[in-house]
Structure 1
Amino acid sequence: MLIGEVARRSGVSARMLRHYDSLGLVQPTGRTVGGYREYTPDDVRRIFHVEGLRSLGLSLRQIARTLDDPGFTPSALVGDLIRGTEERLHRERELLDRLRKVEAAEPAGWQDVARIVELLHGLASRSAARRQQAVLAPVEHESVPAELLAEAVLTESDPNVAGALRWALARAGGDGVASLAYGMASDDVDVRRRAVVALAELPGDETTAMLTDALADPDAAIRRRAALALGTRGETRAVPALVGIVVEGPNDVEAAELLGALARDATWADRIMSALVDELAAPTADSAVRMRLTQALAEMPGTIALDTLRHLARDDDRPVALLASALVTMREARP
């Protein structure tokens, strides 16, 4: 077949066929009676091989080496193509993610776009100091986009940078709460821990509701942080968890102070006292647990815990009895 016929049947333009010929990639090897060069069936078959390999992303030079190499192994080629494609897709996904973040920030002009891009580069730095600087860099007329900050909070492991991000997020308002909600739903416990710490520093009913949901998280550290944050907000739904913190140990002093503040509400005073007394009487409560519970009783307002402390002053556990006795003396000495 002559070049025009091959172009019509193969879908490869005559110009591209001439280019293949000039490169020595596919050269017509036949001759017509009149001496014109023509493509044999083997030549046409090679054209289809070339087009097939081009569709996989190979350059013409790579295709030439592949077709002419007697030791060619398809598995090695395909493996290289897969790795190259994955790397390209990763770069494209990063670009797409960056573009979406710029779009979400709703920039008013190119200066805003430049500021957001600069922030994105800063947050992606391997240097913790550079990341912190990017967050705290002064901005004349507007704050850093909250969603961007929230996403950064969920991945930041350096405590200083994380603190700067949470500070900036609190200043930026509540727009980042949706991203933090996404973090609270993560299977990665570290992401959820970062999210709950950030939520604890943000006001609002929406964050309070999310912190309440976090009381049921399977991770003890997350439940503890949510309970302390809710107690600070005066949320009585945190009472059982706060009592549990006193029993378990970490942050027991803070939890006891919050229980004392919540017990100023007469409707909750009896419930909190009953919960503490029940834990004191629990068979599993060892001396250390009972000491923490006794100290928590000292945080109860007024004299509502005085009779219980007097009873504990005669407790068989001497350290508990001594602590309770000292607390009674201090309480009775108050005007």
Structure 2
Amino acid sequence: MAAAGATRGARRLAERLRAEKRLAERSAGTGARTPTGPTVRDLRAWSLPGEAGLILINKPPGLPTHGGPGVERSVVSLLPALSRLLFGGGAEPLRICHRLDKDSSGALLLAQSAESADRVQRALREHRMSRVYWALCVGAPTPPEGILDIPLIEKETPGPQKHFKMALCPRFRVSSDGSVQRFRVSRSAHEAVTQYRTLEKSSGVSLLELQPLTGVKHQLRSHLALALSCPILGDHKYSHWGRLAPQKLPAPVLRSLGIPSPQARSLLLHLHAAQITLQLSPEDPPLVLRCAPPKHFLSALRRLKFSPPSLQDIPLPPDEGSP
């Protein structure tokens, strides 16, 4: 009887899979496709008052800035539609001014013309543009605030699941006898400097304010996970070094978030670009541009009983005065 029941169950499963396959083939044949990911309506956009040609968007998490192999939708792919939505038909597509990682959310500047994009990129090169991020991290950094000045280098990880990650390439290391030794930094390494401070901590999670003073790929994620041992909540890439696996959360963190352990694998990255401070020319006063965190970030703050940080309380970079 048990064998017969198992056979019937296997037959029903096979029939369902065949039906799903036929439906997929029919959809492919007619060109029908279910759209996935954020749409142009999700790119909350504002024209900067008094700054013709610059647009601020609050990028949702999970949307890549640029396209690539296997990327169905990106900010770049949505720019023509966003241009039409903001400026009407025949408008020139907007341009990306700087980078924001796929899994991060928050402030991203766009430009209507190559000249406007050039002004922003020149300000970035000349250190007249700075960014502030908020991150929810597993653990609490020691000390609670400081500056990380540790170069980063991209490396292939060991083990059966070969993949590439940014790794620390420190100038100084502590030897087995406790002495500090200086090492020559690889030519392939990138200078990476991050300023951080702890805003709040509880239940094995901390809320950090971060200011990257350089712009290296995955700088904040790798500095927090590898230098401070405080990976960002929802960072499934840097929570383990040698393997690709979902982030494992301690029991107190799971209880505070109100989720079972298996659900942790679907957590989004809790890293948000909250503020951009931009001085378009040395003579101009700085523009202070702020974006509120997305729903998943605010929901985690509520569950952790953290006070949502105020955008108005973000300090400005030195020597830039008031907004």
Give the TM-score normalised by structure 1: 0.17
| Structure in which a larger fraction of residues adopt helix | 1
| Structure in which a larger fraction of residues adopt strand | 2
Larger relative contact order (CA 8 Å, sep ≥ 6): 2
**Which is higher, the Rg of structure 1 or of structure 2?**
1
